[in-house]
Structure 1
Amino acid sequence: MRKTLIASLVAATAAALAAVTTATGASTAGASAAAIPGCAAGSLNLVEDGVLTIGADNPAFPPWFGGAEKTKPWKVSDPYSGKGYESAVAYAVAKQLGFAKGKVKWTVVPFTNSFRPGKKPFDFYITQVSYSPERARAVDFSNSYYFVNQAVVGRKGTPIARAKSISALRPYKLAAQVGTTSYTYITKYIKPSSKPLVYDTNDAAVQALKNGQIDGIVVDLPTAFYVTAVQVDDGVIVGKLPTRGTKERFGMVFQKGNSLRGCVNKALGRLWANGTIKKLQNTYLARAGAPDIK
């Protein structure tokens, strides 16, 4: 069953890419986008002249990244493929800035390193990094390319799978990846009766769920669909968590003060306005609904 699901996901992703390329022109193989005033490729503040260097975590997972064939050292999915939501958005931004696909380079940067203070080996970073005022003291963020809902994933037939409210989640052992807003949501809003566990990677948290070491993990909703479809055979989305405070958003991360941010924001503005962002979200992130946790 799991092999069938993986094969189906790969096939669906390939078909989705073809549809997006035809419908939106987002593929970098097509004609160049009209230049953004003041943002000529040769004038941008880049790590490497003439090349757009993009950071991402490794492993890179669907639905954010895709591609059955992987360029070393990428695991699971390949950012170079242009498949998956974040890869597709990154190449669409690159195109708006005048970079052909061959002039885009991806570099591995662990998630928590992306928003630490200091010099960065990337022009921007894209791996589901949520904006927060605390993070924004060390790095700069682009405008939103995705607005986020958190979700709880458990296993079918376990008591947590019947939880319908925040209070009903509190008796259970929950976990999330270190440094994520998913972990913050657990500690700030769910406030479970036992201290939540934290893992270096989401992959490790998923393995703990499979091993029965925890009752549930908190991840963003699109990742929850991937976890339950591919990674955990008996996985189930317990529910989508309600928004608390300011609506959470993903943004690209920049070294503090990098003027490239302004040009990326202009590119994103075009992609929102011309419908590319919406089409890419419908292609890569739209799934059947998940129950709401109250």
Structure 2
Amino acid sequence: MFNKQHIVRTIAATASILALSFTAACGSGQSTASNSADSNDITQQTYKPGKLTIATGQPAYEPWVMNDKPESGEGYEAAVAYAVADKLGFKKSDVVWTRTAFDTAIAPGAKDWDLNIQQFGITDERKKAVDFSSSYYNDSQSVVVKKDSKFANVTKVSDLKDATVGVMVGTLAYDYAKANIKDDIQTFNDDAALAQALDAGQIDALVTSTVECVYMVQSEQVKDAKVLGRLPDSEDKSGMGIVLPKDSKLTAAVTKAVNDLNADGTIKKLQDKWLAEYTTDLTELKK
């Protein structure tokens, strides 16, 4: 009798252990499945899971961002940012904006944002420190001078060799000016400082993106100024890309989003809405 009871108890205990093991295994499977689902959900791979943190300049200028309010979605880059966010599965309320300097955004190191959009030209050198999406705009470079400047009527790039030329450091305008205008140029940390220098007479001419040049003149950041013209062979063939931290888990998805927005015509519509008046009817300077 004792042996039979012992056997029954042993069988019962074994069954209980197996049941517990099965339950644990099921729970583990559910947890693994859940973790796997999270790992495939791009909205959970961000700096703050469930939110998309997007950085832009401080301040951000028109027509890229209207009234320095990217959260409004008004302005070309603000509109592109929200279109990309939508493609990634984020609602407008899930987007969090922050501000960074231009040069620190593309420097090596950890970032406290997911995307950064402020007219970053895509270059191989920058790709060593950060990731880029595909291009959402291909701009050219132009020149701004004061209307009463002795350089106000020049028609050739070579005529600027005696001018004091200013550019923003680390930009495509810097590379172009060094290679095609003169080696000795003055550099500034942002377009605001660049415009102030020309307005104050510290430089004779500034070189920056065509869109920015037109805005500087229209908004009178530089008073009594004119866009001298678009620089020849200055179109940025690589284009402007959205910057992401190096090896970001979002890079492929953001690139696909930009590609899709190009393919479905959204990018063209946004360019027509926000940039058309800044890029037409400009004379191209001769070499």
TM-score w.r.t. structure 2 length? 0.82
Aligned length: 245
1:201 and 2:193 are equivalent in the alignment: no
What amino acid is the match of 1:257?
D
**2:208 & 2:40 partners in 1: Cα distance?**
35
8 Å Cα contact 1:53/1:124 also seen in 2: yes
> What 5-or-longer segments of structure 1 have no aligned partner?
1-37, 68-76
**2:259 & 2:127 partners in 1: Cα distance?**
20
Runs of 4+ in structure 1 off by over 3 angstroms are 38-43
Residue of structure 2 in register with 1:20 after alignment: none
The alignment's C-alpha RMSD in Å is 1.6
* Shift of residue 122, structure 1, vs aligned partner: 1.1
Q: 2:95 aligns with which of 104, 126, 129?
A: 104
1:236 and 2:226 are equivalent in the alignment: yes
* Shift of residue 96, structure 1, vs aligned partner: 0.9
Residue of structure 2 in register with 1:289 after alignment: 281
Say if 1:280 and 1:246 are closer, same or farther in 2 by CA, change over 3 A.
closer
Residue of structure 2 in register with 1:61 after alignment: 61
**1:160 & 1:59 partners in 2: Cα distance?**
30
> What 5-or-longer segments of structure 2 have no aligned partner?
1-38
**1:84 & 1:245 partners in 2: Cα distance?**
21
1:122 and 2:113 are equivalent in the alignment: yes
* Shift of residue 244, structure 1, vs aligned partner: 5.1
Q: Percent identical across equivalent pairs?
A: 39
Structure with the higher fraction of residues in helix conformation: 2
1:81 and 2:72 are equivalent in the alignment: yes
What secondary structure, in the 3-state scheme, does the structure 2 residue paired with 1:262 have? Answer: helix
1:46 and 2:46 are equivalent in the alignment: yes
**1:166 & 1:275 partners in 2: Cα distance?**
35
What amino acid is the match of 1:254?
L
Residue of structure 2 in register with 1:73 after alignment: none
Residue of structure 1 in register with 2:26 after alignment: none
| CA offset digits 1:202-253 (Å, max 9, x no partner) | 1111011111111111110111110010122311000101225972411011
1:258 and 2:252 are equivalent in the alignment: no
Q: Which has the larger radius of gyration?
A: 2
* Shift of residue 41, structure 1, vs aligned partner: 3.8
* Shift of residue 40, structure 1, vs aligned partner: 4.0
Q: 2:124 aligns with which of 133, 154, 160?
A: 133
Deviates more, 1:245-254 or 1:273-282: 245-254
* Shift of residue 191, structure 1, vs aligned partner: 1.6
8 Å Cα contact 2:152/2:228 also seen in 1: yes
**1:166 & 1:213 partners in 2: Cα distance?**
20
